[in-house]
Amino acid sequence: MTYRGEMTEPLGARIRRLRTGRGWTQRELAEPGYDRGFLAKVETGSRVPSEEMLAYLARRLGLTVDELRFGRPRGIADELRASLDEGYRDLEQGRVALAEERFAAVGKQAAGYHLDDVECYARFCIAEVRWQLFDVEGAQKQLEHAEELAGTAPPWLRAMIVHRWSGCRYLSGDAGAAIARVDEELASAQDDPDAELCLLSALIHPLMEMGGLHRAQRAAVAGRRLAKAATRPDFVARFHRQASQVWQATGQSGRAEQDLIEACRLFASVGFDRDAARCRWARGYLLRRRGRLGEARSELTSARDQLAAIGAEEGFAGATLELAEVRLRQGAPAEAAALVSEVWPLLAQDVESLGEATGLRGQIAQAEGDLPTATRLLREAAGIQTRAALHGAAVSTALRLGDVLRQRGQLDEAVEAYRRGLDSAAGTEG
């Protein structure tokens, strides 16, 4: 059952308190619409006012019906939303316990005042705490709780709930369900640029990992138009961060880097330190792909340190894996192996990172000349990625596995590995 709070003051007692606080007699409040005796019975609780009478009394007292019915102070909804916004900034800056305490308190108040949209926002914020703590299952459960009240929530909040739910399903290895849910929401989305931009941003990464580059590119182009009309800088920033992946994949690395720089600027402008650090992580990845290894190492080290400082385990793990790959390419396999080992315990709930880390361990073994171990680890990584329908990653891993087998002189097995890579690539849109 949904917790709705306990009203500590009966309705009749509240009407009496509000009346006497204004210095009015029962007759002065009741007339001309109702007689004094009927109001007296309402105030003692022996009679329940009709909706018509409740509306009449609320109007006489200068309140809305729900302010009178639920004892809401004037402006409390805006006050509670502002408190949640402030708590979200606390969360983004690493003050996790403080933010979680605030979210729980506001959620309880909102339930007591029957403010469904505010309670929905509070539940979403609690889910964000679980997300930041890398508790994917816990985040998904909280998002499903938030969705129970999403019918009265604004479009941007409903879109963000779906965005994060989709992210949870993707990290759990169900990219197909992640995409299908966002598609379903987009089909019924209202004409709201922020909500549509949020949903398009949620599509890009899972589409690309499942081989849907053409669809991801269409989402990026459509999002670019919507970003001009969107009003939330954090949503515009998330879009730029996701769109950068499309431009990288289509050979437009300069455009991708500009998107990441803009995303970082926007996140920093609203105090979203965690997301700004994630943009630095993404830029480090791009710099590594462009062969600018020294710059990549610097950017990734800064991102990793910032994410560690604010307790963002999922981001810390991802930036660390990327830094490990840079160090491997710089000829430091032992340091790369130590970095992977450092974050290994954090990877169990993120199938994408687990596959990436397993493959990276295989590459480290190859660099150290341990080809049997490299073969085993690359096969394991390919299996993880194939089962999770991460086609792009599976193709790369299969090619690396083929190269290792060829080094070992196992040419038939190498050909088979290359063939599996081609099979994975055939499941993509190119």
Residue among 172, 231, 234 at smallest CA distance from 201: 234
Q: Give the pLDDT of residue 159.
A: 96
Backbone angles phi, psi at 95, to 5 degrees: -90, 70
Rounded Cα gap, residues 193 and 189, in angstroms: 10
Share of the chain above pLDDT 70, in %: 96
The stretch 305-314 carries a mean pLDDT of: 89
Mean pLDDT over all residues of the chain?
91
Residue 225 has pLDDT above 70, yes or no: yes
Average pLDDT over residues 90-104: 95
Which of the four pLDDT bands, split at 50, 70 and 90, describes residue 427? low
Q: Is pLDDT at 61 greater than 60 in this prediction?
A: yes
Percent of the chain with pLDDT over 90: 68
Q: Look at residue 412 and give its three-state secondary structure.
A: helix
pLDDT class for 215, splitting at 50, 70, 90? very high
Q: What is the mean pLDDT of residues 377-401?
A: 90
Lowest mean pLDDT among 2-6, 20-24, 152-156, 162-166: 2-6
Fold exhibited by the domain 370-430: 1.25.40
The architecture that CATH gives domain 11-73 is Orthogonal Bundle (1.10)
Q: Residue 26 contacts by C-beta under 8 Å, 6 or more apart in sequence?
A: 19, 36, 39, 40, 43
Query: Is residue 137 over pLDDT 80?
Result: yes
What pLDDT score was predicted for residue 66?
82
Per-residue pLDDT at 297: 98
Residue-level pLDDT at 426: 61
Residue that wins the pLDDT comparison between 348 and 252: 252
The residues spanned by each domain of the chain are 11-73, 272-345, 370-430
Task: Compute the average pLDDT of residues 129-158.
Answer: 93
Q: Of 18-22, 57-61, 187-191, 287-291, which one has max mean pLDDT? A: 287-291
> Does the pLDDT value for residue 191 go beyond 90?
no
State residue 84's pLDDT score.
Answer: 97
Q: What local confidence, expressed as pLDDT, does residue 6 receive?
A: 40
Q: In Å, what is the CA distance from 192 to each residue of 78, 144, 186, 203, 206?
A: 21, 22, 11, 17, 23
d(CA 353, CA 253): 23
pLDDT band at 58 (very low <50, low <70, confident <90, very high): confident
- Identify whether the C-beta of residue 286 lies closer than 8 Å to the C-beta of residue 302: no
102: pLDDT strictly greater than 50: yes
| 350 pLDDT higher than 90 | no
At residue 340, does pLDDT exceed 90? yes
More confident residue, 322 or 69: 322
User: Between the CA of residue 130 and those of 126, 311, 347, what are the distances in Å?
Assistant: 7, 12, 15
